[in-house]
Amino acid sequence: MPAVNLKTPAELALMRASGKALVEVFAMLDDYIAPGVSTMQINDRVEDFIVNTLKARPASKGQYDYPYALNTSINDVVCHGMPKASEKLRSGMIVNVDITLEQGGYIADSSKMYLIGDVSPEARRLVDTCYQALWKGIRAVKPGGRLGDVGHAIQTHAEAAGYSVVREYCGHGIGQRMHEEPQVMHYGLANSGILLKPGMVFTIEPMINQGDHRTRTQKDGWTVVTRDHKLSAQWEHTVAITENGVEVLTLRDEERCG
């Protein structure tokens, strides 16, 4: 397996700054996302804020020839949804907004679910369970633990609630490049996988489906949807392993109060 790049204290400080900048993007969006707004308007607002307010770079744009600053994944879209001018948010939708930002040479990556208007109890339960699963995974991160502990914690929580975990997509190491080692699976066996060490930085980003875990990719080559057309939810944070535990580099203000 390729080596995992352990970050120095100086690198972690730069990644912490990128994470805080990304938190500002989501804080801005919280007052903007509403019924009637198109996913392309969200994209354009985010790109303008990152470039002109934060003096940073939307790291997704140009990555693997992807043309936009973010992904917007609605309802049965699992991940990689492409923003569209014709796609407007409506009451009852759930949407994942996934944003990466590079500042000072280092990248932060996070996503958040938004519930638009009057959302069904079933959709809300899925979104809440996915968020809980994310935190189960985060709390499994500690020096001396194993990477498989993260996926096991997520899978156990999601499946106990009657949901499935997407297999084809995973979290990833992150730093000066968006995708580094290790790959972070959201399912698996406890006490398996690589040893977790201080200085590791990676994303945890579980995709939890209401029905079957299987997915398919649409003709645009990006948008991934559930095969059975049932709902999917995703949350994501960038985390760093410290000497004493785990630090969430993209922790939002409302989460600090929770």
CA atoms of 96 and 72, how far apart (whole Å)? 6
Hey, what long-range contacts does 78-82 have (CB within 8 A, 24 or more apart)? 78/166, 78/169, 78/207, 78/209, 78/215, 78/224, 78/225, 78/226, 78/232, 78/234, 79/166, 79/169, 79/207, 79/224, 79/234, 80/222, 80/223, 80/224, 81/39, 81/222, 81/223, 82/220, 82/222, 82/223
DSSP per residue, the chain:
-PPP-PPPHHHHHHHHHHHHHHHHHHHHHHTT--TT-BHHHHHHHHHHIIIIIS--EETTTTGGG--SSEEEEETTEEE-PPP-TT-B--TT-EEEEEEEEEETTEEEEEEEEEE-SS--HHHHHHHHHHHHHHHHHHHT--TT-BHHHHHHHHHHHHHHTT-EE-SS--EEE-SSSSSEEEEE-SS--TT-SSBP-TT-EEEE--EEESS-S-EEE-TTSS-EEETT---EEE-BEEEEE-SSSEEETT--HHHHT-
Of the pLDDT bands very low, low, confident and very high (cuts 50, 70, 90), residue 1 is low
Would the pLDDT of 251 be above 80? yes
Cβ 26 vs Cβ 254: under 8 Å:
no
Taking each helix axis from N to C terminus, what angle separates 121-139 and 147-160, rounded to the nearest 10 degrees? 160
**Which residues, in sequence order, are bridge partners of residue 246?**
241
pLDDT tens by residue, 187-235: 999 999 999 999 999 999 999 999 999 999 999 999 999 999 999 999 9
Q: pTM higher than 0.85, yes or no?
A: yes
Would the pLDDT of 258 be above 60? no
Give residue 40's Cα distance to chain centre.
Answer: 19
pLDDT tens by residue, 50-97: 999 999 999 999 999 999 999 999 999 999 999 999 999 999 999 999
**Which residues, in sequence order, are bridge partners of residue 146?**
195
